Structure 1
Amino acid sequence: MVTFTPEQTAFAQAVTDFCQRETGTREQRDKWTNNGEENHSQELYKKMADLGWAGIIVPEEFGGAGAGNVELCIFLEEAIRNQAPIGGIGPTLITAAAYEKFANDDLKREVLEGVVAGDALSISMSEPEAGSDVGALTCRAEKVEGGWVINGQKTWCSNAHFAKSILLIARTDRSGGKHEGLTQFHIPADTPGLQISQIDTLGGREVNDLYFTDCKVPDSAVVGQVGNGWKQLMAGLNTERLILAAMQLGLAQRSFDDTLAFITERKQFGRPIGTFQALRHRMADHATEIACTRELVYSVAKAADANPDKLMPREASMVKLKATETSKAMTIDGMQMMGGYGYAKEFDAERLMRGAIISTVFGGTNEIQRDVIGKTYGL
């Protein structure tokens, strides 16, 4: 089973204690989320930043904790398990890692110090005709004197409505292959020529359309090398998929905990429904799957810490696939075991289910993850 150092165990307990104080009741969570309409509270996130948690993996030279992937996964698992409404942390830390690797010194310091202070970030890849096939994107950035002019549309962009800045992937050259000629740009959210428009979803306000109309940015907005955006994206897969996996592990565990509490207390035919074999066996299976998922998450986190520059496409895809499928199965089954109560908004089961199902889509669909895993075996 997964074991932690005494310091890691104390850290996990500190995160749990904070969340139980701030988000331990439904009334508290409704206060932070506008009655469930938002999945992220910047106010609560700032409080976590004051404790040093927003910059947990940011290097110490920029004011962060400089912790590893194991500590990051501990934080995310415990925060999401305790239902802290900080859905924006995933895109923020994924984006921050890209700035750390590729931005120039001045931009890196500006952005990472902001992250430590609680700024949210966003990354924009998908377009109406380029989702899983990121290489097919057409949003273009054309070189002009002193900078670049951007035109086009992006979609499904998480965090953009409250982010301090957006890391945009745009096409700067059409002469090569579809994975060539892509460039990353730093776009402050208040840049003239950028319009951010909400997309209504089952999860409330989470994602947005972005419209760029003659949006001009300086040369200094380029993050990394012009035309090297695709390779830069691939360099961040370990961190991205670990973040998503740890969050879904926490969500699966919360669903299990809530379901267990319900079926222990709920009585039918004169006894708790959890004592019936049909439910008891289902919960045993879910407990086993969650335990297996936790082992995988932390083994990949430890491997990433031991080899920070090594790309692990197979393991990164496996951990995202396993964690999201586990959370989806647990939340759907948990809602069904709760019967009508699982469907009612009075309980958290239906919200947890929505959060789990969409996780199989974002960050690279699970079909794409399976494809990546298969290719690593030469298939």
Structure 2
Amino acid sequence: MPALSEEQVLLRDAARAWAGRQSPTTALRRVRDGAAPLGYEPAAWDQMAAMGWAGVIVPEAYGGSDFGCRSMGLLLEETGRTLTASPLLATGLVAASALVLGGTDVQRREWLPKIAAGELVATLAVDEGAHHAPERTALGAVASASGYTLTGAKAFVLEGMAAGLFVVAARTSGRPGERSGITLFLVPGGVEGVGRTPRALADSRGYAAVAFDRVELGAEYVLGPLDEGWDLLERVLDRARAGVAAEMLGAAGQAFEITLEYLKTRVQFGQPIGAFQALQHRAAKMFTELELARSAVEAALDALDEAAPDAPLLVSLAKAKTGDAIHLVSNEMVQLHGGIGMTDVHDAGLYLKRARALEAIFGGQAFHRDRYARLQGY
């Protein structure tokens, strides 16, 4: 896989410095303890946008830097290390990708500059139940005299309370379970009929259940092909999944480093506990799994940038492998820290909770192992 360019190295290092200085885990605790209504601190998001992060995948013609998915992955990895709460994934990668990949020039000019500037929080509304199953879309979009009428609901929408624009997967024909008949729509958050209910999850981030009650939209709000939006949706979801994998890689890497440092400094029976061979074996297992996950994530992001035909396969591999890695490391972080790892005083619980949420977002390990097998023809 290609090495990082000089610009990407500078971007990664700047992101690591900013996250460590401006958004350590204490910032997430403020969001959690203060019950922040948006699920993040707007001031921190303003700083991220001012550095150009929201426009990393946006073409220069629409106000971005067109720096690619690999570069966005670097940002998500570094912010993942400190569990930074922000709309970067939902807005800067997922929603922006939907417009870049499927939008008309008019749609791009209306929305992408606002996303790139950090003025607009946008998100994808796809799942309607507890598990990731985009083909089961049931939210209906019925043709009307003025365009379409949307009726239905979406569950656990990322940044759903803050979003000023929803990219909504709706069914314009067919039945739930069928891939044909799905169409994507751009739904401004302020239109009549859009209702939001916050959902409190273990990781203390901003999720919402979003209801669409006879929402009237003109035909100009259709994103991509009518009835045949599945391929576009899958391309957007693959970018989303790779972004989540990058964030998991960062969180797992930091959890491992914290745990390794504890093994070196915690003394028991007159010596550091890291001197015990059984614990060394567990640390070696974590290190190996993280290295494998890193290779998978980098390969997936590069494949997306190159529009490689095996990108979906590599994305599912990355999401499954990184999910396994963060599951292992977050569990070991709690266990190897002993009693303090079970308390809220220590950050171990924060990493464990975020790990479980990230594993499930846009498909867990079982979903992606099954998808990987199907893509291979099994």
**What TM-score, normalized to structure 2?**
0.92
SS at match of 1:236: helix
2:104 and 2:33 mapped to 1: Cα distance?
38
* In structure 1, distance between residues paired with 2:332 and 2:349: 11
CA distance in 2, matches of 1:73, 1:269: 43
| 2:350 matched residue in structure 1 | 351
1:16 counterpart = 2:16: yes
1:135-189 CA-to-partner distances (Å, cap 9, x unmatched) read 2322111111112111112212111101121111111123898222211111111
Aligned equivalent of 1:332? 331
Conservation of the 8 A alpha-carbon contact between 1:172 and 1:181: yes
Aligned-partner SS, 1:360: helix
Does structure 2 conserve the Cα–Cα contact (< 8 Å) formed by 1:237 and 1:313?
A: no
Alpha-carbon contact 2:135-2:176 (below 8 Å) kept: no
Q: Output aligned runs, 1:109-258, within 5 Å.
A: 109-118=109-118, 119-128=120-129, 131-174=131-174, 178-258=178-258
Checking the alignment, whether the CA contact within 8 Å between 1:41 and 1:85 is kept in structure 2 is: yes
| Structure 1 residue 291 corresponds to structure 2 residue 291 | yes
Give the TM-score, by structure 1 length. 0.92
d(CA) in 1 for partners of 2:313, 2:252: 22
Aligned to 2:61: 61
Gapped regions of structure 2 (runs ≥ 5): none
Task: Tell me the CA shift for residue 98 of structure 1.
Answer: 1.0
The SS at the match of 1:173 is coil
Within the alignment, does 1:30 sit opposite 2:29 as a pair?
Answer: yes
Does the Cα contact within 8 Å between 1:16 and 1:82 map onto a contact in 2?
no
Structure 1: distance between partners of 2:277 and 2:298: 32
Q: Secondary structure at the match of 1:201?
A: coil
Shift of 1:131: 4.0
Which ranges of structure 1 fall in alignment gaps of 5 or more residues?
none
- Whether the 8 Å CA contact 2:138–2:175 is kept in 1: the answer is no
What residue identity is the alignment partner of 2:85? P
Amino acid at match of 1:347: H
- For 2:9 and 2:229, locate their aligned partners in 1 and report how far apart those are by CA, in whole Å: 38
Following TM superposition, by how much is the alpha carbon of 1:33 offset from its aligned partner in structure 2, in angstroms? Answer: 5.2
Looking at structure 2, the residues matched to 160 and 29 of structure 1 have their Cα atoms a distance apart, in angstroms, of 18
- The answer for the alignment partner of 1:261 in structure 2 is 261
Q: Which letter does structure 2 place at the counterpart of 1:155?
A: A
How many Å separate the matches in 2 of 1:268 and 1:242?
41
In 2, the alpha carbon distance for the partners of 1:283 and 1:341 equals 19
Q: Deviations over 1:104-151 (max 9, x none)?
A: 2222122211111112211111114x8443223221111111121111
Given that residues 19 and 83 in structure 1 are in contact (C-alpha distance below 8 angstroms), is that contact kept between their aligned partners in structure 2? no
Q: Which whole-Å deviations, capped at 9, do the CAs of 1:191-232 have from their partners, x for residues lacking one?
A: 111110112221234322112212111221111122122121
Q: Is the 8 A contact 1:120 1:163 kept in 2?
A: yes
For the aligned residue pairs, the C-alpha RMSD in angstroms reads: 2.2
In structure 2, do the counterparts of structure 1 residues 309 and 110 end up closer, same or farther at CA, with 3 Å as the change threshold?
farther
Counterpart CA distance in 2 for 1:206 and 1:176 is 27
- Report the Cα offset of residue 53 of structure 1: 1.2
Secondary structure at the counterpart of residue 78 of structure 1: helix
Once the two structures are superposed, residues 230-249 of structure 1 have per-residue CA deviations (whole angstroms, 9 ceiling, x without a partner) of: 12112224422221111100
Q: Amino acid of the residue matched to residue 74 of structure 2?
A: I
Report the counterpart of residue 313 of structure 2 in structure 1.
Answer: 314
- Pair 136,322 (structure 1): closer, same or farther in 2 beyond 3 Å: same
Q: 1:7 to 1:96 in 2, by over 3 A?
A: closer
> CA–CA distance in 1 between the matches of 2:83 and 2:153?
33
Cα distance change of structure 1 residues 136 and 12 upon mapping to structure 2, 3 Å threshold = closer
> Relative to structure 1, is the Cα distance of residues 56 and 213 closer, same or farther in structure 2, using a 3 angstrom cutoff?
same
Aligned length: 375
Distance 2:8 2:230 in 1: 35
Deviation at 1:36, TM superposition (A): 7.4
Is residue 58–residue 66 contact of structure 2 (8 Å, CA) maintained in 1? yes
Secondary structure at the counterpart of residue 287 of structure 2:
helix
Between the aligned partners of 1:156 and 1:35, the Cα distance in structure 2 is 21
Query: C-alpha separation between the residues in 2 aligned to 1:325 and 1:283?
Result: 15
What CA deviation, in whole Å up to 9, does each residue of 1:261-300 have, x standing for no partner? Answer: 2222222222222222222221121112112211222123
Note closer, same or farther for the CA distance 1:290–1:35 as it changes in structure 2 (3 Å cut).
farther
**In structure 2, C-alpha distance between the alignment counterparts of 1:25 and 1:168, rounded to whole Å:** 32
State the AA in 2 paired with 1:243: G
* 1:318-363 Cα shifts (integer Å, max 9, x gaps): 0111111101110111111011211111111111111112222221
In 1: Cα distance, 2:184 partner to 2:375 partner: 27
- Alpha-carbon distance between aligned partners in 1 of 2:354 and 2:71, rounded to the nearest angstrom: 23
Q: Distance in 1 between matches of 2:25 and 2:171?
A: 46
CA distance in 2, matches of 1:8, 1:282: 32
